[in-house]
Structure 1
């Protein structure tokens, strides 16, 4: 799949079917984009699990922070990646190594690695890059 543009129905379907999200790179700092997006997603009814090894065991927005995707208490539908592009391949590997891989890996604005995307898609995982669900949700879902 090409990742320059996305069909609106593709993104809308993801946003409407996903219920649980692991947010990698979650920050306790309200000034950080990951914090705001986590808050936005929680307000829209998603169950969000923050993932950040430096904050593991603490809480962000009332949710326990986990060190890795493997530490999550349940499978997630989507992994939202707030990490630099150079780390996306590692996040994809970690997600694909889970007993129940996510249905979607969503890389935030500015985050792109076409080889990592190809690997995820070859494993049957949908991939979105260089997009933000907090921007796409109001535009596509309402």
Structure 2
């Protein structure tokens, strides 16, 4: 039952972020080369912040991907995950983990209290993969401003 609730949460999160991006992003493609970075508040159940995506956010996401160390164990259904950040990538990137190649065009960063951060990516068939990584997320958190440091 716990796995079904978690799967439903992940699916709802992805749908919310996907639909929110189309309505929250009003700038023309010439003004903004990338889809915006979004912050999803897990307790509120909604996107609470949208900010323009730029080269620095792309660098953060690429560093996270480059530092992937393996597949993560399944998320537990608890209240420790506070925010999920969506960073759309400039172009799809291939991630090789445990012999599996994934082509992802978005990176979701899970920020959980007292736990290491995790990445969530979807492959071409929209299957979810949770990934462990070792890059420091502090500069990203400071730039996005949530949570306030």
TM-score, normalized by the shorter chain, greater than 0.5:
no
Q: Which has the higher contact order (CA 8 A, sep 6+)?
A: 1
**Structure with greater helix percent:** 1
What's the TM-score bracket when you normalise by the shorter of the two chains? under 0.3
- The structure whose Rg is larger is 2
**Structure with greater strand percent:** 2
**What's the TM-score, normalizing by structure 1?**
0.28
